[in-house]
Amino acid sequence: MEEYKKLIELSEELTLLGDTSALLGWDQETMMPARGVGYRAKQMAYLSGKSHDLWVRPEVGEWIAACEEEVESHDGNEDQCANVRDWRFDYDRATVLPRDLVVKFQQISALGKATWAEAREKSDFSIFAPHLEKLVDLSKQQAECYGYDECAYDSLLEGFERGARASELTKVFAELRPELVALGKEISERGPRVADDLLAGDYPIEKQQAFNREVATAIGFDFDSGRIDTAVHPFCSGVGPRDTRLTTRYDLQDFTSSLFGVLHEAGHGMYDQGLPADRHHLPVGRAISLGIHESQSRLWENHVGRSREFWQYWLPKAAGYFPHLATLSLDDMVYAVNKSAPSFVRVEADEVTYDLHIMLRFEVEQAIFSGELAVADIPAVWNERMKEMFALQVPDDAQGCLQDIHWSMGMFGYFPTYSLGNLNASQLTAAAKRDCPAIEEQIAAGDCSALLKWMGEKIHQPGSRYLPGELIERATGETTSSAAHLEHLRDRYLG
Amino acid sequence: MEEYKKLIELSEELTLLGDTSALLGWDQETMMPARGVGYRAKQMAYLSGKSHDLWVRPEVGEWIAACEEEVESHDGNEDQCANVRDWRFDYDRATVLPRDLVVKFQQISALGKATWAEAREKSDFSIFAPHLEKLVDLSKQQAECYGYDECAYDSLLEGFERGARASELTKVFAELRPELVALGKEISERGPRVADDLLAGDYPIEKQQAFNREVATAIGFDFDSGRIDTAVHPFCSGVGPRDTRLTTRYDLQDFTSSLFGVLHEAGHGMYDQGLPADRHHLPVGRAISLGIHESQSRLWENHVGRSREFWQYWLPKAAGYFPHLATLSLDDMVYAVNKSAPSFVRVEADEVTYDLHIMLRFEVEQAIFSGELAVADIPAVWNERMKEMFALQVPDDAQGCLQDIHWSMGMFGYFPTYSLGNLNASQLTAAAKRDCPAIEEQIAAGDCSALLKWMGEKIHQPGSRYLPGELIERATGETTSSAAHLEHLRDRYLG
């Protein structure tokens, strides 16, 4: 079919441009000299402008409409249906906003990072509030353009996690929240299982790098199709079908910081490396959502990397690189990397408290977009909730509602995908272990191949064939819920 | 003027695309994982195809014609004239070839590297000859399309060095050749001034890197606008107006290998960093030619880096990094980095013999394109000339006419630019020292700022305002000749 072919060609072109931008972005964060920044911004704006112009042409809309008719009348195969489904979604999202709204949003959000950084630096929400109000207002206008069934917030959520609905998330979180609070209390009453400075020592960067590389290779990250570099804010970036780049950062007093960074990013990276390379240029060959991506990073970071079976194999290896670890017991090592305590800052939170931080943000975002909460009142609500959940008195907004960058760029609806990642990770791990009972034993022997193979078949290779909800249901037999995650946490922290 | 503005906008777009390709290329040589290669080729082909399509549109030709009229009738300023001059040159070069000739040349030259590599590996010219014949034939067709006054070869030369003519090069080389041969003989009769293994020792990479970085910073390479990485075949790549990337390679037994690599590439890099950044997007903001670029690299590598005054300052510093050098006398150090002997391989040749290697290639290329020499006879002629010049018997074609990659990609007329670089470097150095007699004294105190400032004013900042011949004449008072170079060599090797 002519129109389908044209869309495939256009997809290939846009993918080439997108991957080129990804490399420019990776280079900026890892390699670029300081004074390259202004020109790099120009390059990236040029490329994304080119992509946008190619995509929003009226004839592209006509091609998509023709494909939709064809697919409906002839029962296209799953991949064709997914391609057409995503072309439609991307096209509508790109064309439905009036030009002046797009321009205004870009202008305001471009100023966001600096305004937010200043506000956080001075811990003064009033500096950020006018900016945030504008972004909320523009995002509300966007939401009306995108359209929604239940609430405006859903249409923003949809931009990060296809098919997610605030109403369903609310149900899942309603189950999760009291259990997490209760679990946190129980852990806190029991008291710490190991001393806080148990792992303290000198960890030279070169040794950390060598150890991390050995671990990443062993769990299945392919260094012929990827690499690891250093970045201030670690990330994973796929810059081509066989070119996946991880980053981490190093703490010279704590080797687990870079290690868990690498495990987390390698989880993202192995998802990328497992996507169908022959369909890299098509929507169906892409990762389906942030919530699925985060499930893979959390799985390798937490379910593998913080497990007893992992350290059974890797503690002696680690002691080979860092001799003072040789005296550590396996129990102590596992306890040392599984500590939980209330904290102010999301990115430093442990597995038990992390999702409570997300729920707080989710509630605030919903209340803002339903009109129940004014931007000016965010700090008060934030601090109140922190007291309820953690019995913590937020000392200043820098450690409170100003801690995250997301809102400064107008990213509302992003936070819930972190929790979806955590829940999906637990549910997928449980399902994989049901299907292959030998997984734990293998990991204890340094072999993660069965787990990776299962993830490859169930999650990586399907690419975007199924929306996240269906993908998880097909892989685990049920939709995303809190059950497996709670079981995992109880087992790990109280078992 | 409307057309001039349109061309400026188009130039900006093509510069953004070109710099993006440059980054993709740099990344491929320094960072890219092995399996990224196929997709990277696709990306680069896509970007260069896009640039080509944007440039060869008929309306672009009309804009250029309109600008030419305007510039002629209104006496445009020098920069405008240079822009229009180069737009015309680039446009004609890009549009004058028939499509099927372009495609055929791309197809054949794409296979070139592999065919050449195999032939060199087996030292069997007959494997390479049919391929080379095709490329010569296609290049002859190209030359006829480009047009020329004196000989077809000139039109190929023109692609690498604007305004260069075989007849003039022949005159310059005719003066140079007997003098170099005589000088080589004199050096050989005198015998070596130091033992061959004088510098032998262990030179850890990290120490070499730290020393090279200190030297590169001191001579004026700006690390806020650049960096140094490792590559198999060292190069310098400008990927933006304030982003210049050097590469080098390391010999663990000889620190001068990476050091002279860095000095050479930093010479290229400081030219890039000295170009007018505000005109980066215009023809006039670009480097004017290979022969000028190579003058800068050779200048810092040879005239600075192998000079007595350089080592006066840097030998004690080097001994700080590599303690066994502390016992070395300044004389011995200078002699150790200024050795000359006949050799088979151009890239390993010293300052005295290097240009003889180039003249050999220049003669062969000219004879091929005038029809005097058949491709099949290249090895015989090559070996005969090597005997004449160096009294060396070429043992096999791998060390003879198969040693260079250039012809395999259809690059005929490139080699002479290396010698132009050497001659220009000597002529520029002499002129700079005439203008600022303190230069040598400054270098002996570790300060190269006067020399760099002079090069900046005379060579870097003009960008492409003047063609190479005029640029050199304006800077030194005379056109490129062999006089300064011969004086430099006699002084260095016999002084």
Q: What is the pLDDT of residues A302-330, one digit of tens each?
A: 999 999 999 999 999 999 999 999 999 99
Q: Which of A19, A243, A280 sits opposite B33 (nearest CB)?
A: A243
Q: Which of A43, A240, A280 sits opposite B19 (nearest CB)?
A: A43
Nearest-CA distance B205 → chain A (Å): 14
pLDDT of B110 reads 83
Which of B420, B346, B421 is CA-nearest to residue B382?
B346
Give dist(CA A385, CA A355) in Å, integer.
13
pLDDT of A112 reads 87
Tell me the CA distances in angstroms from A297 to A446, B79, B354, B460, one per residue in order: 19, 54, 55, 49
Q: At what angle do helices A2-30 and A58-74 cross, to 10 degrees?
A: 120
How far is CA B367 from its chain centroid? 23
Give dist(CA B267, CA B424) in Å, integer.
13
Q: Is B230 helix (H, G, I), strand (E, B) or coil?
A: strand
- Chain A interface test: which of B11, B26, B29, B31 (most A C-beta within 10 Å): B31
Q: Which two tokens stand for residue A398?
A: 């820098």
Torsional sign, CA A142, A145, A146, A151:
positive
Whether A27 sits inside 8 A of B23 (CB atoms) is yes
**Backbone phi, psi, residue A228, to 5°:** -125, 130
| Catalytic site includes residue A265 | yes
Whether A243 sits inside 8 A of B42 (CB atoms) is no
**Pair A407, A135: CB distance under 8 Å:** yes
Cβ-Cβ contacts under 8 Å for A156 (sequence gap 6 or more): A139, A142, A143, A146, A369, A412, A413
Nearest-CA distance B297 → chain A (Å): 21
**Pair B260, B305: CB distance under 8 Å:** yes
Domain A136-495, architecture per CATH: Orthogonal Bundle (1.10)
Whether B41 contacts chain A with CB within 8 A: no
Tell me the CA distances in angstroms from B70 to A381, B3, B56, one per residue in order: 67, 10, 21
Q: Which two tokens stand for residue B97?
A: 């070839």
Instruction: Mark which residues 262-301 of A lie under 8 Å from B by CB.
Output: 280
Q: Across residues A140-149, what is the average pLDDT? A: 97
Q: Which two tokens stand for residue B56?
A: 């060869």
Give dist(CA A485, CA A466) in Å, integer.
23
Among the options A3, A265, A301, A351, which is catalytic? A265
Q: Which of A19, A34, A241 sits opposite B224 (nearest CB)?
A: A34
Contacts of B238 in chain A (CB under 8 A): none
Whether A326 contacts chain B with CB within 8 A: no
Whether A36 contacts chain B with CB within 8 A: yes
Whether A33 sits inside 8 A of B224 (CB atoms) is yes
- Chain B interface test: which of A43, A206, A237 (most B C-beta within 10 Å): A43
**Backbone phi, psi, residue A281, to 5°:** -85, 0
Q: Which of A20, A38, A227 sits opposite B24 (nearest CB)?
A: A20
Whether B243 contacts chain A with CB within 8 A: yes
Instruction: Answer yes or no: is pLDDT of A284 > 80.
Output: yes
Contacts of A36 in chain B (CB under 8 A): 225, 239-240, 242-243
Give dist(CA A97, CA B432) in Å, integer.
61
Q: Across residues A94-123, what is the average pLDDT? A: 91
Which chain A residue has its CA at the smallest distance from B13's CA? A46
Q: Are strands B236-240 and B243-248 parallel, antiparallel or unpaired?
A: antiparallel
Which of B169, B230, B100, B67 is CA-nearest to residue B414?
B169
Whether A23 contacts chain B with CB within 8 A: yes
Nearest-CA distance B166 → chain A (Å): 40
Whether B35 contacts chain A with CB within 8 A: yes
Q: What is the pLDDT of residues A388-419, one digit of tens each?
A: 999 999 999 999 999 999 999 999 999 999 99
**How many Cβ pairs within 8 Å bridge chains A and B?**
86
Give dist(CA A304, CA A310) in Å, integer.
6
Whether B25 contacts chain A with CB within 8 A: no
Q: Are strands A226-230 and A243-248 parallel, antiparallel or unpaired?
A: parallel
Give dist(CA A281, CA A7) in Å, integer.
11
Across the beta sheet with A243-248, the strand order is A226-230, A243-248, A236-240
Whether B43 sits inside 8 A of A227 (CB atoms) is no
A196: exposed, middle or buried (C-beta count within 10 Å: 0-12, 13-18, 19+)? exposed
**Pair A489, A338: CB distance under 8 Å:** no
Instruction: Mark which residues 181-240 of A lie under 8 Å from B by CB.
Output: 222-227, 239-240
Cβ-Cβ contacts under 8 Å for A122 (sequence gap 6 or more): none
Cβ-Cβ contacts under 8 Å for B472 (sequence gap 6 or more): B292, B424, B427, B428, B478, B479, B480
Whether A33 sits inside 8 A of B241 (CB atoms) is no
Cβ-Cβ contacts under 8 Å for B150 (sequence gap 6 or more): B165, B166, B167
Contacts of B280 in chain A (CB under 8 A): 39
Q: What residues in chain B have per-residue pLDDT under 70?
A: none
Whether B242 sits inside 8 A of A39 (CB atoms) is yes
Q: Are strands B236-240 and A243-248 parallel, antiparallel or unpaired?
A: unpaired
Structure-token match 């959940």, residue found: A389
pLDDT of A109 reads 87
- Chain A interface test: which of B32, B50, B246 (most A C-beta within 10 Å): B32
Q: Which of B35, B43, B280 sits opposite A224 (nearest CB)?
A: B35
Can you state the percent helix, strand and coil of chain A, rounding each to 5? 70, 5, 25
Among the options B265, B294, B301, B363, which is catalytic? B265
Which of A348, A392, A328, A353 is CA-nearest to residue A194?
A328
Contacts of B205 in chain A (CB under 8 A): none
Q: Which amino acid is at A281?
A: H
Give dist(CA B160, CA A153) in Å, integer.
59
Which of B228, B233, B199 is CA-nearest to residue B214?
B228
Whether A254 contacts chain B with CB within 8 A: no
Whether A243 contacts chain B with CB within 8 A: yes
The percent of residues in chain A predicted with pLDDT above 90, rounded, is 95
The ipTM is: 0.94
Partner residues linked to A237 by β-bridges: A245
**Pair A33, B242: CB distance under 8 Å:** yes
Q: Is B417 helix (H, G, I), strand (E, B) or coil?
A: helix
Q: Which of B36, B226, B242 sits opposite A240 (nearest CB)?
A: B36
Name the pLDDT band for A176 (thresholds 50, 70, 90).
very high
Cβ-Cβ contacts under 8 Å for B247 (sequence gap 6 or more): B29, B30, B228, B229, B230, B231, B234, B235, B236, B265
Whether B33 sits inside 8 A of A223 (CB atoms) is yes
Which of A471, A467, A367 is CA-nearest to residue A158?
A467
Tell me the CA distances in angstroms from A270 to A296, A434, B111, one per residue in order: 8, 22, 34
Q: Is B243 helix (H, G, I), strand (E, B) or coil?
A: strand
Q: Which two tokens stand for residue B234?
A: 């060292």
Q: Which of B31, B33, B224 sits opposite A35 (nearest CB)?
A: B224
Q: Which helix (H) or strand (E) holds B406?
A: none
Which of B54, B37, B41, B6 is CA-nearest to residue A50?
B54
- Chain B interface test: which of A11, A15, A23, A28 (most B C-beta within 10 Å): A23
Whether B46 sits inside 8 A of A16 (CB atoms) is yes
Give dist(CA B141, CA A85) in Å, integer.
51
Q: Across residues A268-276, what is the average pLDDT? A: 98
Rg (CA), chain B: 23
CA atoms within 13 A on the CB side of A163: 18
Give dist(CA B7, CA B2) in Å, integer.
9
Instruction: Answer yes or no: is pLDDT of A75 > 80.
Output: no
**Pair A101, A138: CB distance under 8 Å:** yes
Nearest-CA distance A265 → chain B (Å): 17
Whether B457 contacts chain A with CB within 8 A: no
Whether B240 sits inside 8 A of A40 (CB atoms) is yes
**Backbone phi, psi, residue A461, to 5°:** -60, -35
User: In chain A, what is the straight-line distance between the N-terminal and C-terminal CA atoms, in Å?
Assistant: 58
Partner residues linked to B243 by β-bridges: B240
Whether A13 contacts chain B with CB within 8 A: yes
Domain residue spans of chain A: 2-95, 136-495
Nearest-CA distance A339 → chain B (Å): 37
- Chain A interface test: which of B11, B16, B227 (most A C-beta within 10 Å): B16
Contacts of A247 in chain B (CB under 8 A): none
Provide CATH code, domain B125-495: 1.10.1370.30
Q: Is A328 helix (H, G, I), strand (E, B) or coil?
A: coil
Q: Which two tokens stand for residue A9?
A: 């060609």
**Residues composing chain A:** 495
Structure-token match 């606008």, residue found: B225
Which chain A residue has its CA at the smallest distance from B35's CA? A225
Which of A43, B214, B336, A194 is CA-nearest to residue A51?
A43
Whether B44 contacts chain A with CB within 8 A: no
Q: What is the pLDDT of residues A430-488, one digit of tens each?
A: 999 999 999 999 999 999 999 999 999 999 999 999 999 999 999 999 999 999 999 99
Give dist(CA B67, CA B81) in Å, integer.
9
Give dist(CA A420, CA A414) in Å, integer.
11
Whether A46 sits inside 8 A of B19 (CB atoms) is no
Kindly state the greatest CA–CA separation across chain B: 68
Torsional sign, CA A474, A479, A480, A484:
negative
Cβ-Cβ contacts under 8 Å for A397 (sequence gap 6 or more): A119, A120, A123, A124, A125, A379
